[in-house]
Amino acid sequence: MFILSAGWGLIRSNYLTPRYDITFAGQADPYKKRGMKADKYNDFGQLKPSDGEKIVLFAGKAYLGLFQGLTRSMPARRTDFFHGKPPSAKLINGCQPIPYPDGDNRTWYYACTKDFISGRVKC
């Protein structure tokens, strides 16, 4: 499992980061904010899947373009769980979109991730 970190890029979930105060959130102070479109994310990418592995995204649509850019060249099947309106064909760009109807609009990905880990949802 990997985490998309504003401070460190795409990192393994068991990688212990030092404390930092960098965010993707639009309402943050400018010195804390990292942009998803303009910034480069080849700083600390640890994702190196083998052929046949799956890469699954549990995040809002705002992250899908960045996810595409970070994983486009990977020899893996990419899946994007989404909540609400389906992503546009341009955003899907080689990912398999799977709707997740449960949960709150702001925190649905927590429930989806738990359901995925427990086997209640599959890709």
Can you give the pLDDT at residue 102? 85
Show the CA angle centred on residue 39, arms to residues 37 and 44, nearest 5°.
120
Per-residue pLDDT in tens (0 to 9) along the chain, 123 residues:
777 776 667 777 788 877 777 666 667 677 666 665 566 655 555 666 666 678 888 887 777 877 887 777 777 888 889 898 888 877 777 788 899 988 888 889 889 999 999 999 998
Classify 113 as helix, strand or coil.
Answer: helix
In the chain, what are the domains? 1-46 (no CATH), 49-123 (3.40.50.1100)
CA max distance for the chain: 41
Dihedrals phi, psi of 97, to nearest 5 degrees: -80, 135
Can you give the pLDDT at residue 119? 94
Instruction: Say what the pTM is.
Output: 0.69
Q: Both tokens of residue 65?
A: 């373009």
**70 vs 64: CA distance, rounded Å:** 10
